[in-house]
């Protein structure tokens, strides 16, 4: 057996950065890969956020169908407490499960939405898992021990560290922190390469997928060094040294990509995709502060007593339960990542919140008012769009999403913390998500030197399955882009459609041998994880 299809994910990759790096000779293999294949812009879903976007890529469905909207979700319909999302929250089949149930082997590494790991015929190493959970997270059960024995792999560096994650969006404390932070993420990508090599050389799978998330983190924190034309010119020696480290990261990523493709072999069809794009962000909308000034939100005494040193509140997400006075709060944002506003609804006519009969009118007024928020610097609107959940989350589980989702004019994240200013200037330019990422493809049957314009992230799942010779679910919201294939391919290998699994059938998340059921040990470790991160006492 050999790798038939290889999917490589670069979290947050954008041609805004990559085109310049290819022109400068920093990423020669990427340039040659795209020259001998097809490239396209890849439009993502709203919100342009890692968990829902990658889940859309791996399911071919939008959040209203697959059920993932953020890194977090409320514990229940009426709960104010939140938890990390898990694979059990995915309501539709993934390409991992579809491939495995079709009798083909699959290996997937470092993607979110994969813990508890689906029990596929193959290998799963989930992303976004703390080090202390990785033993339980890998599939099959003995995989962790096998990987631990590899001489060039440091598994501890692959675990999620909330302190490092927070630095990506909140910034570092001193200039001396940049170097070790960048070098850590460079090493981390090499670790993922070694895991890929182990699986590909010992038991190659029909579908092999691996995601590198350092791109996103690098661009969040180091945008001004990677793309200095979007900020004040670099002047000091230390700034140029940080830029050199960033460029070295991309050189290493290019070399890793070459190793992946080479090991997959000349007969493999290779796809490269990102979950969203990136661009500069200069300002922050303090949405809860705005809601408070409008009289829709009230802070608790505890919120005023604690000094606020963070800008967005990434590491303080769960604290909204005691930062807000729930007797006087009708609308609130719990996370900066979702850019979402939730409305507290009073369903029984007793207590606080918006009466259910007034919900629609209240939400409509909130949408109109928030669209009029202006920057004190230029007087322009800072909210590009304010979507209701019906507009962007159609589907059976759309009600799990925020009542209103904001799209900021510079793609930035909102702040959930108390603040005097409603819109503030960032101390320095940072990177923020944009709706257009990247797509590339090369291999047998793929058009050479072709620019397909723009595709949808929803097109990736059906295209992956088509490359494997598998039928396409009729429920997919994307399509197989026929234009990226050479003439005659579709005639010789026509697209076949498959009926969606009926209600009497289990989806892959429920059918993959108890993936949806956490053992007592799993639950214990998850609770320990939340306690370490400060989400529970």
Helix H or strand E segment including 450: strand 450-456
Please, what CATH class does the domain formed by 281-430 belong to?
alpha beta
Going from the C-alpha of 132 to that of each of 141, 189, 230, 454, 534, the distances in angstroms are 15, 19, 39, 41, 16
Dist. CA 443–CA 344, nearest whole Å: 51
Backbone angles phi, psi at 277, to 5 degrees: -100, -160
**What are the boundaries of each domain within the chain?**
5-276+435-532, 281-430
Bond into 140 cis (ω within 30): yes
- Local confidence pLDDT in tens for the 537 residues of the chain: 689 999 999 999 999 999 999 999 999 999 999 999 999 999 999 999 999 999 999 999 999 999 999 877 766 555 666 667 788 889 999 999 999 999 999 999 999 888 889 999 999 999 988 778 888 899 999 999 999 999 999 988 887 766 666 666 667 768 898 999 999 999 999 999 999 999 999 999 999 999 999 999 999 999 999 999 998 899 999 999 999 999 999 999 999 999 999 999 999 999 999 999 999 999 999 999 999 999 999 998 877 666 554 555 445 555 566 788 988 999 999 888 889 999 998 877 666 789 999 999 999 999 999 999 999 999 999 999 999 999 999 999 999 999 999 999 989 889 888 889 999 998 889 999 999 999 999 999 999 999 999 999 999 999 999 999 999 999 999 999 999 999 999 999 999 999 876 433 444 443 343 444 444 454 444 445 444 433 333
Dist. CA 160–CA 64, nearest whole Å: 27
Which CATH number is correct for 5-276+435-532, 3.40.50.12280, 2.40.30.130, 3.40.50.300, 3.40.720.10? 3.40.720.10
Question: Residue 458: which residues within 8 A CB-CB, separation 6 or more?
Answer: 45, 56, 57, 60, 61, 62, 476, 477, 478
């Amino acid at each position: 057996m050999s790798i038939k299809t290889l999917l490589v994910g670069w979290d947050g990759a954008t041609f805004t950065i990559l085109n310049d790096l290819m022109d400068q000779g920093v990423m020669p293999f990427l340039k040659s890969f795209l020259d001998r294949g097809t490239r396209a812009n890849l439009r993502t879903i709203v919100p342009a956020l890692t968990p829902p976007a990658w889940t859309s890529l791996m399911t071919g469905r939008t959040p209203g169908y697959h059920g993932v909207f953020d890194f977090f979700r409320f514990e229940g319909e009426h709960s104010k407490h939140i938890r990390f999302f898990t694979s059990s929250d995915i309501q539709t089949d993934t390409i991992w499960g579809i491939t495995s149930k079709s009798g083909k082997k699959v290996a997937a590494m470092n993607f979110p939405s994969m813990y508890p790991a689906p029990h596929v015929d193959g290998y799963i190493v989930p992303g976004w898992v703390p080090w202390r959970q990785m033993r339980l997270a890998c599939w099959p059960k003995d995989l962790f021990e096998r990987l631990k024995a590899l001489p060039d792999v440091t598994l501890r560096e692959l675990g999620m560290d909330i302190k490092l994650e927070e630095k990506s969006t909140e910034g570092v404390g001193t200039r001396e922190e940049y170097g070790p932070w960048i070098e850590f993420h460079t090493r981390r990508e090499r670790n993922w390469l070694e895991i890929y090599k182990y699986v590909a050389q010992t038991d190659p799978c029909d579908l092999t997928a691996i995601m590198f998330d350092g791109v996103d983190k690098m661009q969040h924190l180091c945008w001004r060094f990677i793309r200095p034309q979007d900020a004040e010119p670099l002047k000091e020696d230390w700034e140029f040294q940080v830029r050199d480290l960033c460029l070295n990261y991309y050189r290493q990523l290019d070399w890793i990509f070459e190793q992946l493709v080479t090991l997959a072999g000349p007969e493999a069809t290779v796809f490269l995709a990102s979950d969203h794009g990136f661009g500069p962000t200069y300002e922050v909308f303090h949405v809860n502060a705005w809601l408070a000034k409008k009289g829709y939100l009230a802070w608790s005494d505890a919120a005023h007593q604690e000094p606020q040193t963070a800008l967005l509140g990434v590491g303080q997400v769960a604290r909204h339960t005691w930062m807000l006075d729930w007797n006087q709060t009708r609308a609130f944002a719990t996370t900066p990542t979702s850019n979402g506003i939730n409305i507290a609804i009073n369903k029984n006519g007793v207590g606080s919140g918006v009466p259910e009969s007034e919900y629609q009118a209240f939400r409509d007024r909130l949408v109109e008012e928030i669209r009029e928020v202006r920057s004190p610097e230029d007087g322009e609107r800072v909210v590009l769009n304010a979507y209701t959940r019906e507009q962007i989350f159609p589907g059976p589980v759309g009600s799990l999403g925020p009542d209103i989702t904001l799209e900021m004019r510079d793609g930035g994240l909102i702040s959930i913390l108390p603040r005097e200013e409603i819109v503030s200037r960032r101390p320095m330019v940072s990177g923020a998500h944009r709706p257009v990422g990247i797509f590339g493809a090369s291999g047998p049957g793929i058009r050479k030197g072709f620019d397909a314009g723009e595709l949808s992230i929803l097109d990736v799942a059906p295209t992956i399955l088509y490359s494997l010779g598998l039928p396409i679910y009729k429920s997919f919201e994307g399509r197989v882009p026929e234009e990226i294939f050479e003439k005659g391919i579709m005639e010789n290998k026509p697209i076949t459609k498959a009926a969606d699994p009926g209600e009497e059938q289990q989806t892959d998340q429920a059918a993959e041998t108890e993936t949806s059921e956490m053992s007592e040990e799993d639950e214990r470790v998850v609770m320990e994880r939340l306690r370490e991160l400060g989400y529970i006492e």
